[in-house]
Structures are given as C-alpha cells and as structure tokens.
Amino acid sequence: LQVKTAQIVAIGTELLLGHVVNTNTSFIAEKLSDLGISLYRTSVVGDNEARIVDELKDAWEKNDLIITTGGLGPTGDDVTRHAVAKFLDVNLVKDLQEEEKIKDFFVKRKTKITDNNFVQALFPEGSQLLVNSQGTASGFLCERDGKIIIALPGPPDEVRGIFKGVLDDRLRKLTIDGRRIVSRTLKFWGLGESRVDDTLNDLFITYKNPSLAYLFNRGEVFVRITALVHENDTNIADEMDEIESKILQRLGDYYFAKDGETVDSIVSSILIKKKMRLALAESCTGGMLGQRITSHAGSSEYFDGSLVTYSNQMKQNLLGISPEMINLYGAVSAECAEAMAKGVICTTGCDVSVAITGIAGPEGGTVEKPVGLVFIAIASQLRVQVHRLHFLGGRDKVRQLSVVAALHLLCDFLEDDSTC
Ligand code: ATP
C-alpha cells in the first residue's frame, strides 16, 4: 500500500457558517506536506450524512487517502462514523475496550453518562482504531482496494494528539518508499514583505527543488527551503546549505532564528542564562505582552509580571510618573515610555523591563501622533533604550505587531552585554 495523493474533508456546519476557523485542515495539510504526500484538494461539508457520503465518493475516485475531521461526537448532528460506514457499505460495530474507556472517562469526572455517549464506541466494521487519549472520540482508519480513509475528531488538540500518538508513524510507513520531504525555515524580523520578495526573487524563480516559500506572520518573515528527497539523492543537504548561505548573505542583518526556535524561546533562554528577572508596563497592549510571555512554559523562572497601566492615573499611581511629564509630552511619547520602563524597575525591583505606549486606533490619532505610533522602551539597571515605531493596520494588528516588536527589541537588548 502506497499513498501518493490525498484530500482532507473537514466536517461541521459551524465551519460553513464561519463560526469556527478551519485550523485542522491547515495542521493536517502541513503534516501531509512533511510526509511527501501531495494534497490535491481540501473541502468542507456540513453535518449532513448524505452530503458527506457524496463528498467521500468524489474524493475516493481521485485520491489514495482521505482524512476527515469532525463529527465523531455523541450528539445527533455528529454523523461522520455513520457516513463512512455507509460509504464503505459496512456495519458499525462496538469496540468493547473503547466502551470501557468512555465509561471510565465519565466515572473519573463524576458525571452521569448518557446513552448517546456509547455511540463513540461504534466503528465501521474492519476499521483500525486511532486512539484518542485526550477525549472520548477515538479516530479510525479503514483500508479498501489499496486506498485509505481516516476519520479524526474535531477538537484541534485531539487531532494533534492522535497524529503524535499514532498517525505520524502510520502515515510515514504508507508513503512512497524512500521519498521524504525535508525543510528548514529561516526567520527574519524588521523588514517588509516587498523587500523580502525583491531581495530573494531570483532565488525564488531559479530554485525548484529545493524550492523557496515565504510566510509573513505578524511582522516576522519565515523563508522555508523545502526539498523532496529520493532515496538516492545524496547532495540535497549541500544544495540546501548553498541556498541558506545565499539568503543569509542578503538578509543576515534581519535574521533571528531557525526552525523551531522563536523569539520567545530566545528571550527566555537569555533571561535564564543571565539570571535576570523581567517585568512589564503595558498601555496600548493591555497585557498582551504579559500573556505572550506567560504562554511560554517555565516563564515563572524569569518573569515577575505586567503592570497594565492604561489610564494616565494608573501610570501615575503604579509607575510614579508625574502628571506634569504627561501634560508636557503626552502619554504616547518617548519620554513617557522611558519613564514607564524606569518606573517598573523601581516598583518591582526587576533587572530588566519593557514598556509599551501607543495609539492603537481607530480613534485618537493626530498629524504628529498618528494611529499606529508606538513607543517601546527597554530598561535595565544600567541603560534605557527607547524605540519609536509606526505600524500600519487596524487596532488588533497594531497591538499584535507591538508585542512582536517588543520581544525582538528586548532580545537585541539582552544580547548586548553593554546594556545589561
Ligand atoms: P466532540 O467529541 O467534541 O463532539 P467531534 O469529533 O464531534 O468531537 P465536532 O463536534 O465536529 O467534533 O467539533 C468539536 C469542536 O472542535 C468544534 O466546536 C470546534 O471548536 C472544533 N473543530 C471542529 N472542526 C474543526 C476544524 N476543522 N478546525 C478547527 N477546529 C475544529
């Protein structure tokens, strides 16, 4: 059995209504790409058995592999297992171990089990279970005529869990022998999309395998070098090195990380290495930077907290900023940002601080201080740096770009031994 082409079928009326963003499809698509399986199409179908069966028939004709996600729950509108059984023309049969797992799940949570929960122990006859250790709805895999259909639940963490637990390995064994995709991602910050395109365009056009792709993500630019490697390809790593060094020659000043490394992980490891504690004062980002830092597991080792000082009064009360200073320069000013960063150091006794103040919009801009103007100050016991930035975009984008910029500026500050 060898799998070359695939279709993902996302199931759920809430997806069609736009209530849920179809992140499962992008997650699975990326997995298939890494495995060297060509994804020919993705589709979305509502919770309707007949329409799901139709979609499966169509996808089956054109592909070796179908992966569905969603609709494996206990309620009446969860019809994926019935649709797959109907499509394959088999019965649903009970799996006793799954039945026990479901009972156990409810006993442990001390909640009453209802009859409809047991529908999740039913699987199309002849299917193989893909155990879901995070939820009650396990997925399943059915083989027929050299093709495969896989059904996964809807919750994204459960989809990820099943891939990690069993499906990554299963699918790797099913891909064409010896063929695999290798990739590396170079990450940059501080330059715009058109600049990247302009600088790398000739490489983008020249190289086909390995090839280049760009991803622009909240102020950061990821350049991905991808190669489809056959068993007898021996020099692909050298070719990838060659492209990588060409890219770094041109954009090296903006480079900050590779592959799984992120600006968050770099900040965290420097703070740990230098044994420094960080605290923040946030105005226009309202705590978003603190949220981002604390989403990194283990942040308590270096993070004290964020003072969300949105109003002028709070800036005065919590950071000791004088009303005269705010009157003179305004709350969105280099002077105020600097005073906020110093104020955090005084109030919390931390080693390094970041302060953000800006005009996120859509109201409140003037000619001198337009919407998107943001000041970010970074202070240590030795120095203060203030940066004036101007972001374009709506309120949400300005706030998100401010958070990313603050992390990068903090990273540069921490990497410079003369500042801390
Ligand atoms: P459950 O046992 O939770 O009912 P299920 O397999 O029936 O699982 P659904 O009811 O279809 O899954 O979806 C459950 C939740 O998972 C949805 O409310 C939604 O939040 C999320 N979800 C479903 N499909 C997707 C998708 N394609 N992308 C991202 N999230 C999704």
CA of 213 to the centre of ligand 1 (A): 30
CA of 217 to the centre of ligand 1 (A): 25
Edge-first strand listing for the sheet containing 211-217: 211-217, 220-229, 180-189, 255-258
What is the residue with the minimal CA distance to atom 23 of ligand 1?
154
What is the residue with the minimal CA distance to atom 12 of ligand 1?
154
Q: Quick one: residue 130, left, alpha or beta (phi over 0 = left, psi -120 to 50 = alpha)?
A: beta
Q: Which residues line ligand 1 (CB under 6 A)?
A: 10, 12, 14-15, 20, 22-25, 69-73, 78, 135, 137, 153-156
Q: Output the pTM of the full model.
A: 0.73
28 phi, psi to nearest 5 deg: -65, -40
Dmax (CA) of the chain = 79
Walk along the chain (420 residues) and give the pLDDT tens digit of each residue. 678 899 999 999 999 999 999 999 999 998 998 787 889 999 999 999 999 999 999 999 999 999 999 999 988 889 999 999 999 999 999 999 999 988 888 888 888 888 788 899 999 999 999 999 888 899 999 999 989 999 999 999 999 999 999 999 888 887 766 667 788 999 999 988 888 889 999 999 998 888 898 888 888 999 999 888 877 777 888 999 999 999 999 999 999 999 989 999 999 999 999 999 999 999 999 999 999 999 998 999 999 999 999 999 999 999 999 999 999 999 999 999 999 999 999 999 999 999 999 998 888 888 888 889 999 999 999 899 999 999 988 999 999 999 999 999 999 999 987 766
Distance CA 340, CA 307 (A): 10
**Site to substitute for ligand 1 among 28, 30, 72, most atoms within 8 A of C-beta:** 72
**Site to substitute for ligand 1 among 11, 14, 106, most atoms within 8 A of C-beta:** 14
